[in-house]
Amino acid sequence: MRWILKGLFLLALCAVVFGTAGWFGYQIIIAPHQVPPQELVDGKPAPPPDPSLPEFEKAMNIKASHQPVAAREALQHFIENYPFSSKLGEARKALGAVNSDIFFSSIPAPEKTRYEVRSGDALAKIERKLKTSGELLMRCNNLEDPRRLRVGQVLMVSPAEFSAVIDRKTHTVTLLNQGKFFKEYAAASWNAPAPKKGTEKVALPAKVSKKEAWYNGAIVAFGSKEYAGSDRWVDLTVKGFTLYTEGGQKPSAGIGMVPEEMEELSTLLRKGAPVVIR
């Protein structure tokens, strides 16, 4: 009996010694290298942390501090360097707002041209000198009457080399200025032709063929008193993709945009501007 008790004691002692050593070995060698179990979101593994979040927050903080030019640079950098970020959509929306604020205001920016009105100048003469449109000059400089220019008055204008991409899948219109992202607009309604079967991924090249402004069922000219409250159309060389003011004069087919965004698109897209429909 005594030998049996001694045997049991030795077995228990070995279990304690080797068990403790095994536990410490596991904690020191194995545990640090184990992959922790993934958290589940709606029954699926949670996505890994987004490494772009610090840069996104930095850019948005600059925007919130009312530094539009610096915010533009930070947001452009973010979009170019983090094309797969979970915040890409928010960044594009923020950049579009900043771009509009800079373009349609007197906010100083490196790319803007400064022009001082001289004796004998008229809006048509200035737009030829600056290679821009009278409508852009008026809107960017908050001019209400083009006939009331003053000698010495300073006008500011940004480069305006706009093109557009119409996306049939997302129902959006994206503006590019000098090839760079400017702003994205979501369609308010979509009545454009669907691609034929087998051509869903084929891009259609187009151009702006003409621009029209409608007031009470009639076309009105830029500079008339009715123009400010008119419904805008931007016709393309590909039929069925006319951009128009939602709720106003409506074409037989096209893409409806909210009034303020359609006015902006009509101002920025000049006749002959290239458009890609994809």
Residues 6 or more apart whose CB falls under 8 angstroms from that of 267 comprise 133, 135, 136, 139
pLDDT at 52 (0 to 100): 92
Who contacts 114 (Cβ-Cβ below 8 Å, separation ≥6)? 154, 155, 156
Q: In this predicted structure, what is the pLDDT of residue 38?
A: 58
The structural domains of the chain, with segments of one domain joined by +, span 53-103, 113-157, 162-277
- Residue that wins the pLDDT comparison between 198 and 173: 173
By the 8 A CB rule, do 199 and 205 touch?
no
Superfamily of domain 162-277: L,D-transpeptidase catalytic domain-like (2.40.440.10)
Max Cα distance, the chain (Å)? 125
Which tokens belong to 139?
């809107």
Alpha carbon distance 87, 56 (integer Å): 7
pLDDT digits (tens, 9 = 90+) for 48-98: 788 999 999 999 999 999 999 999 999 999 999 999 999 999 999 999 999
CATH architecture of the domain with residue range 113-157? Roll (3.10)
Kindly report, residue by residue over 174-210, the tens digit of the pLDDT: 999 999 999 999 999 999 999 888 888 899 999 999 9
Res. 8: pLDDT tops 60: no
pLDDT confidence of residue 16: 47
User: What is the pLDDT at residue 148?
Assistant: 83
